[in-house]
Amino acid sequence: MTRASAKGRYLAEHPFVSLVEALTWIAFADAMSHDELLEQIAGHSSTEALSAKDRLRSFFGSHDANPADGPGTGYFENRERGLQRLADAWQHLREEAERGNLTVRGRYAYHFTRAEAAVADTTDLSRNMLATFSQFDVSTGGIRRQPDGSPDMLWPDHPDGFDREFDALGTDPCMADGYLLVEAERAGVVRCWPNPRGAPRMRQEDVMLWCENWIKSGKGNGMDKAWRDFHADPSHAGLSREDVFRPAWRKVKGI
């Protein structure tokens, strides 16, 4: 489950989180879903991610509401600024992954389609693989090879989008493939960016003291009940069960 903090939604408490969730946490301290990200960039409800062929075809169609013509919403009301923050987050995440500080994984798709990725094996992406597949594709939440002169990040209606989709359908098969269903190790993301943009924090000693007092109050010895009471306090909004509460509880209990 993804919970909201005072500044935004916290990372889902799973071993791995989606690349979009990780990047929006780093950029905005708000772990967004892929659909939410697309809608904010576009400024209106998005449609399902299209294949490279469908996206290339869309360049020749008529657009009554071209996202590039109007403002986005949320963090992308100033679209250029929001996209730059997202691109910076992608660069920072790659740097930390290359240093070995977090793991990134994904599913290889020869034609960069969801259908292929759904039945592919999940693979840990080495620093060399991340250097090769260095372009973040916002439309799919995946990563692709980055042709010379193409940016680190592409989003719907990017000026270079047509050229990139044309390359994907050309004679060079290397331009068509990529990794989809890309995820980042949650513990690594939190370790590298524990408090982006001033999300709520609390010293472990203070959390341990809270746990000790709760146990002494005779309310019980179970962590689940203690967590519910801890989490119900508005001053604890945004503090993670897995990263903040559980370690303190285990120390108090001597586990």
Task: Quick: pLDDT tens for 82-140.
Answer: 999 999 999 999 999 999 999 999 999 988 889 999 999 999 999 999 999 999 999 89
Look up tokens 């995440």; give the residue.
Answer: 93
Provide the pLDDT for residue 86.
Answer: 95
Closest by CA to 136, choosing from 5, 18, 20, 15, is: 20
Q: pTM here? A: 0.68
Question: What span, in angstroms and rounded, lies between the C-alpha atoms of 27 and 12?
Answer: 16
Q: Which of 117-121, 219-223, 231-235, 241-245 has the highest mean pLDDT?
A: 117-121
| Residues whose CB falls within 8 Å of the CB of residue 87, separated by 6 or more in sequence, listed in order | 136, 151, 152, 153
Q: What percent of the chain has pLDDT over 90?
A: 48
Q: Which residues of 17-32 are buried (b: 16+ CB within 10 A; e: fewer)?
A: bbbbbbbbbbbbbbbb
Provide the pLDDT for residue 57.
Answer: 54
Provide the pLDDT for residue 147.
Answer: 80
Provide the pLDDT for residue 141.
Answer: 95
Provide the pLDDT for residue 91.
Answer: 95
Provide the pLDDT for residue 201.
Answer: 64
Closest by CA to 200, choosing from 172, 164, 230, is: 230
Tokens of 4: 């909201």
Among positive and negative, which fits the CA dihedral 56, 38, 47, 50?
A: positive
pLDDT of 59 above 50:
no
Provide the pLDDT for residue 45.
Answer: 55
